[in-house]
Amino acid sequence: DGQEYRVPSYHVDHIVDTVGAGDGFAAFTSAILDGLNLEDGCPPGAAIGAMAIQVAGDNEGLPTREKLEAFMDAQH
């Protein structure tokens, strides 16, 4: 529809492995399925991507909803 959104970034102290960051961001589709719009659904995807790059492997850093909420709350 031509709208643009800025997605907040999340700070990480140490990048271990970037594999899985894109897959983590794609998890924003879960937020869309939960009824959020793109503007509200993308920040969780960015946070999951940030969490994913802090551990080795492609899915080891994927959080539970509770860990995701805590990570996002701690940074914004």
Residues with active-site annotation: 23
Residue 6 phi/psi, 5° resolution?
Answer: -100, 130
DSSP string, 12-44: -S-----TTHHHHHHTHHHHHHTT--HHHHHHH
CA dihedral angle for residue 34, residue 50, residue 11, residue 68, rounded to 10 degrees: 40
